[in-house]
């Protein structure tokens, strides 16, 4: 396995970075998780847009143009001979001194890792996941700037710890006001009387690429879609609930906090959206 590290391919064992890296010391950096389907990078432009917008927002100079970055992604995939898998692209502030000041960090680190993906077993897509709501809240400023896909994932890690303890695959995180925000690494949707709902990003949800693709599919398939705040009550009372994300794709939820959702398995809208999403990924991407 070859890792792209600041313009060079190094073996996994030799892919090392400085302990003075501010990504390591402070979570000062950004990242993307991207899928490769049949040799295509799914929604490459959207991922690069989100990465470069995040970089702009935190005043991080990415030492590659978008074209060069796309070239580096393609190069790393080829070097590893992968046709289906997952790409983790990380840009951290790079090494500085122990102070917070990013001005002391002359050069960002760019790391690209491609790997096989271990996802939910296929029956989970049919039967749905069990889920719980958890106590960590989307905190500030992340809750106000959820579009920045930063390396500050402590809340998400705390959510994961609680979901592990509850023995569930993904959990539901609320924002400070108690509105439903998202999962630990997935966006959330609910379906009620044929209408599809997802929280607006200002509630504290990442502007997920999969979320965007599902919103487009809803429009194309004629489902009414509303981006509006909702609470756990609306989740409990929903006909269908599902999570979306690069790794999870579209995964149904059959139970939340002990309440069965709908029929207790993937409902018709979720099933249709998953099928259409899987068609889309085979045609929509950069070679
Ligand atoms: N929310 C969070 C907090 C995430 O980390 C992710 C995964 N990147 C998502 C939502 C889903 O976004 P995407 O569809 O772009 O993977």
Section 211-230 average pLDDT? 98
Q: How far apart are CA 286 and CA 66, in angstroms?
A: 13
- Token pair, residue 133, equals 């709501």
Nearest CA among 273, 260, 177 for reference residue 216: 273
Answer whether 234's CB lies under 8 Å from 190's CB: yes
Using DSSP bridges, classify how beta strands 187-192 and 240-245 pair: parallel, antiparallel or unpaired: antiparallel
Answer whether 18's CB lies under 8 Å from 95's CB: yes
pLDDT value at residue 142: 60
Q: How far apart are CA 215 and CA 224, in angstroms?
A: 10
Q: Which of 113-122, 136-145, 255-264 has the highest mean pLDDT?
A: 255-264
Active-site hit among 149, 226, 279, 287: 149
* pLDDT tens figures, 88-99: 999 999 999 999
Closest ligand 1 atom to Cα of 205:
1
- Token pair, residue 97, equals 């001194």
* pTM score, whole prediction: 0.96
Section 73-78 average pLDDT? 97
- The torsion angle over the Cα atoms of residues 86, 91, 92 and 96, rounded to 10 degrees, is 140
Residue 246 CB–ligand 1 contact under 6 Å: yes
Lowest mean pLDDT segment, chosen from 71-85, 146-160, 183-197: 146-160
Q: Which CATH architecture has domain 2-115?
A: 2-Layer Sandwich (3.30)
Q: Which of 187, 201, 203, 217 to mutate to test the pocket of ligand 1 (most atoms within 8 A of CB)?
A: 187
Please give the helix or strand (H or E) that residue 252 lies within, else none: strand 249-256
- Residue 211 CB partners (closer than 8 Å, separation 6+): 187, 189, 198, 205, 244
pLDDT value at residue 145: 73
Band of the pLDDT at 282, cuts 50, 70, 90?
Answer: confident
Band of the pLDDT at 143, cuts 50, 70, 90?
Answer: low
Q: How far apart are CA 27 and CA 153, in angstroms?
A: 8
Judge whether residue 129 has pLDDT over 90: yes
- Token pair, residue 151, equals 């390396």
pLDDT value at residue 63: 97
pLDDT value at residue 148: 87
Q: How far apart are CA 76 and CA 72, in angstroms?
A: 6
Mean pLDDT for the chain? 95
Dihedrals phi, psi of 120, to nearest 5 degrees: -65, 145
Dihedrals phi, psi of 165, to nearest 5 degrees: -65, -30
Judge whether residue 231 has pLDDT over 90: yes
* Residue with CA nearest ligand 1 atom 9: 186
Residue 156 CB–ligand 1 contact under 6 Å: yes
Tell me which residue has tokens 């432009």: 45
Q: Which CATH architecture has domain 122-286?
A: Alpha-Beta Barrel (3.20)
Task: Answer left, alpha or beta for residue 24, where phi above 0 means left and psi between -120 and 50 means alpha.
Answer: alpha
Band of the pLDDT at 140, cuts 50, 70, 90?
Answer: low
Judge whether residue 144 has pLDDT over 90: no
Section 218-235 average pLDDT? 98
Q: How far apart are CA 2 and CA 115, in angstroms?
A: 10
Please give the helix or strand (H or E) that residue 233 lies within, else none: helix 232-236
By percentage, how much of the chain surpasses pLDDT 90? 90
Lowest mean pLDDT segment, chosen from 4-13, 133-142, 236-245, 261-270: 133-142
Band of the pLDDT at 287, cuts 50, 70, 90?
Answer: low
- State the DSSP code for 261: P
Answer whether 120's CB lies under 8 Å from 242's CB: no
Q: Where are the domains of the chain?
A: 2-115, 122-286
**2-115 and 122-286: identical CATH topology:** no
Q: Is 160 a catalytic residue?
A: no
Tell me which residue has tokens 């700037």: 145
């Amino acid at each position: 396995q070859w890792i792209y590290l600041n313009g060079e391919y190094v073996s996994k064992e030799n892919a090392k970075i400085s302990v003075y890296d501010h990504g390591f010391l402070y979570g000062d950096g950004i990242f993307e998780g991207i899928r490769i389907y049949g040799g295509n990078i799914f929604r490459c432009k959207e991922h690069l847009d989100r990465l470069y917008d995040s970089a702009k927002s935190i005043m991080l100079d990415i030492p590659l143009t978008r074209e060069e970055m796309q070239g580096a992604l393609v190069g790393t995939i080829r070097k590893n001979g992968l046709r289906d898998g997952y790409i983790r692209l990380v840009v951290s502030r790079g090494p500085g001194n122990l102070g917070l000041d990013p001005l002391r960090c002359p050069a960002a680190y760019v790391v690209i890792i491609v790997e096989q993906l271990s996802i939910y077993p296929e029956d989970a897509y049919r039967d749905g996941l069990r889920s719980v709501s958890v106590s960590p809240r989307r905190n500030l400023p992340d809750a106000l700037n959820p579009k920045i896909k930063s390396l500050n994932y402590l809340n998400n890690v705390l959510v994961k710890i609680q979901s592990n303890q509850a023995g569930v695959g993904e959990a539901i995180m609320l924002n400070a006001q108690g509105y439903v925000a998202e999962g630990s690494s997935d966006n959330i949707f609910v379906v009620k009387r044929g209408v599809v709902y997802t929280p607006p990003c200002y509630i504290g949800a990442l502007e997920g690429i999969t979320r965007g693709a599902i919103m487009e599919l809803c429009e194309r398939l004629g489902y009414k879609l509303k981006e509006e705040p909702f609470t756990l009550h609306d989740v409990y009372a929903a006909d269908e609930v599902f999570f979306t994300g690069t790794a999870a794709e579209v995964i149904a939820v059959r139970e939340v906090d002990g309440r069965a959702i709908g029929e207790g398995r993937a409902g018709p809208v979720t099933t249709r959206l998953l099928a259409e999403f899987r068609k889309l990924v085979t045609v929509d991407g950069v070679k």
